[in-house]
Amino acid sequence: MARLLHRRHELKAQNPPETQPSPTGGARRHPRFKLQTNIRVYSRRSGLLHGYTVDISESGISAMLTLEVAVGELVQLEFELSSGPVNIRAEVRYKTAFRYGFQFVEPDPGGRIRDTCSRLTVLLSSYKDSSLTE
């Protein structure tokens, strides 16, 4: 089951899109949120890979993998969110050591990714509002 990090001291948007560049050089389109859950990556070249996610946004996800996947390869991702399982195609956009960045290349199945990011945005803004009054 996905572990959404939303305790007061852990909830934060990482790299808001208006302020942070992406590893590939362009500006981010969506804020990222910490998310740790198991992920399965199906690669035509490397086979089935297992890892865990680091963060998620509406347009992509990053994960730690112990085996190599080629940058530019199209892969199938499977992971769990609190709203249920996600099975989506993505492109490997970057690799830094064992951390990989994947950009989703098809619509969000059932809106689960968008709904999760929306809930985290609301939680984040509630946290920011409450921390201003403390």
All structural domains of the chain, each given as residue ranges with its CATH number in brackets, are 3-133 (2.40.10.220)
Whether the per-residue pLDDT at 133 is higher than 60: the answer is no
pTM given for the model: 0.75
16-60 pLDDT tens trace: 443 444 554 555 578 899 999 999 999 999 999 999 999 999 999
C-alpha to C-alpha distance for 131 and 74, rounded to whole angstroms:
42
Please, what's the b/e burial string for 76-113 (b: 16 or more CB within 10 A of its CB; e: otherwise)? ebebbbeeeebebebebbbeeeeebbbbbeeebeeebb
58-96 pLDDT tens trace: 999 999 999 999 999 999 999 999 889 999 999 999 999
Mean pLDDT of 107-131: 81
pLDDT, greater one: 4 or 85: 85
Q: What is the pLDDT of residue 11?
A: 40
